[in-house]
Structure 1
Amino acid sequence: MTRVLGVDACKAGWVGVLRTDGQTTALVAPTIAELVKQAEQPQPPAPNATQPLATAAGRQPPEPIAVIAIDMPIGLPDTAPRQADLLARAAIGRLSSSVFTTPVRAALQAPTHGEAVLVNRELTGQGLSIQAYGLRAKLFEVDEWIRRATTRVVEVHPEVSFAYLAGAPLTVRKSTWSGAERRRALLADAGIQLSGDLGLAGHAVGVDDVLDAGAAAWSALRVAEGNAISLPNPPQTFTDGWPAAIWV
């Protein structure tokens, strides 16, 4: 039984899709550390599941999580765009604007967006969007947490995962009804069932966030089973020491 966790940022903090032997569970937490802690706890058994071992509360003893895949840059560049970002754009074609260029670490450490733009331009020749700068808190949250993680953690980009699931880049955004339904169907065909409220009622989690976490879980399973590829291959390594690549 392989347990994997796909993670995406959301208004509530972080949303995860945990896949355990065909069963899909959604989790929400304000921090990445709390989300992973939730995922490591015993989960309610699937309906009609027959397991020889169970806790007194009727829950299955959990297997360790094999891989955590997260939609957040891991490995921040020093002076130039990451190859992972460039290759991800090429892989998804029309929706390439969903891949932002990861800022250099020094720019993200700047106290204001204006200063960050100057630093990023000086080191890379490019500016820095307010949206990219706005992710700095979550980027650094992951950057700090991953140093303590005991489970293998990889970076993914959901639209790259969906392109590989479909066999071609998708052309309709997931913010549309048809785009969301197309992605949910692709995940269902791959064994990631996202239907019902998933336990997310009352949480500030958008449809796109759940779909992205599901795509991340699919890529995590591929990594765990040894079927994934990395963009680039081999990954780049910057001065922070982390192998920078998007896995699919």
Structure 2
Amino acid sequence: MTVVAGVDGCPAGWIAVLRDLADGTATVRVVARLADLIATDDPAMIAVDMPIGLPDVVGPGGRAPERLVRPKLGMRQSSVFSVPARAAVYAEDYPAACAAALARSDPPRRVSKQCFHLFPKMRELDGLLRARPDLVERVRESHPEVAFAVLAGAPVTLPKKVKSRPNPDGLDERRRFLAGRGYAWDFLAAPPPRGAGPDDLLDAAVCALVAERVLAGDAVSHPAPPERDGAGLPIAIWT
């Protein structure tokens, strides 16, 4: 049995949608740490909605992957944020993160609070791949909104959330797309596991489609080939 996984961060840790490539069936579960998913399910390929490859310095528009994929999102380009420098991601608190980001970006930019709250997961993923270089080739960075846009041929038109609350119309737009690519509607519309939201489940589901295509050799990296950070990790968003 060959299984691929799409993974997204969620309040309880990480939500993973696992697809069995033999019959297309999907299951979902939440894990506290990514290493737990690898230890128990051992996916052949993982596409994760979290940055891989932290730059030492950041130029205009962020890393190359972010600059390259934003045009695919039309009016919704702001959903792809710029990853700050490694020193900012590893800073002890928000003021220190902003100071590190300002010192290592051109033009100088602080860190948004939304981005700062992702730093623990970014550090977890970065630490896992640096400690386990054997995983680097089967854990790839993706981005759900970009994945939807590339697979559908056009950006999704409705937001997943409005004023921090789930937007039913936006969620159903994504469910209809995923249902046309092998997912059962009942799976997509079922309540997500405790500690995850419905948007997290759909993001993980589309990332699993990317993982499937990476494994088949049908995916594209932006840029191609990937760049590398100072630790040797690839810097690319896969679609």
TM-score (norm 1): 0.84
SS where residue 195 of structure 1 aligns? helix
**Alignment of 1:195 onto 2:186:** yes
Instruction: State the match for 1:126 in structure 2.
Output: 109
Residue 154 of structure 2 corresponds to 168
Q: Which moved more, 1:170-179 or 1:186-195?
A: 186-195
Give RMSD over aligned pairs.
1.9
| Equivalent residues of 2:29, 2:193 under 8 A apart | no
Of the three residues 71, 89, 92, the one matched with 1:108 is: 89
Equivalent residues, number: 224
Structure 2 length-normalised TM: 0.87
Asked if 1:135 is matched to 2:133, the reply is no
The aligned amino acid for 1:39 is D
Which stretches in structure 2 are left out of the alignment for 5+ residues?
A: 162-166
| 1:141-181 residue CA offsets vs partner (Å, 9 max, x unmatched) | 11111232644110000001000121111121123222111
The separation in 2 between residues aligned to 1:196 and 1:162, in whole angstroms, is 18
Residue 246 (1) aligns with residue 237 (2): yes
Match of 2:57 in 1: 79
Q: Is the 8 A contact 1:26 1:200 kept in 2?
A: no
Are 2:15 and 2:201, in contact at CA under 8 Å, matched by a contact in 1?
yes
Find the aligned partners of 1:201 and 1:86 in 2 and give their Cα distance: 32
Assess, with a 3 A threshold, how the Cα gap between structure 1 residues 156 and 208 changes in structure 2: closer, same or farther.
Answer: same
Aligned residue type for 1:31: R
Alignment of 1:176-195 (within 5 A): 176-193=167-184, 195=186
**Structure 1 runs not aligned, ≥5 long:** 41-64
* Higher mean C-alpha deviation, range 195-204 or range 6-15: 195-204
Whether 1:95 and 2:76 are equivalent positions in the alignment is yes
**Residues 96, 213 of structure 1: alpha-carbon distance in 2 compared, 3 angstrom cutoff:** same
The alignment partner of 1:91 has SS state of helix
CA contact (8 A) 1:231 1:246 kept: yes
Greater displacement, 186-195 / 70-79: 186-195
SS in 2 for 1:68: strand
Per the TM alignment, residue 71 of structure 1 is displaced from its structure 2 partner at its CA by 0.4
The alpha-carbon deviation at position 108 of structure 1 amounts to 1.5
Residues 91-126 of structure 1, C-alpha deviation per residue, up to 9 Å, x if partnerless?
Answer: 212222211110100112221211211211111122
The alignment-based identity, stated in percent, is 42
What is the CA deviation profile of residues 159-217 of structure 1, one whole-angstrom value per residue up to 9, with x for unaligned ones?
A: 01000121111121123222111111111211233524898666121010000000110
Larger Rg: 1
Relative to its length, the structure with more helix (as a share) is: 2
Equivalent AA in structure 2 for residue 241 of structure 1: G
Aligned to 1:208: 199
What is aligned with 1:45? none
Which residue in 1 is equivalent to 2:30?
A: 28
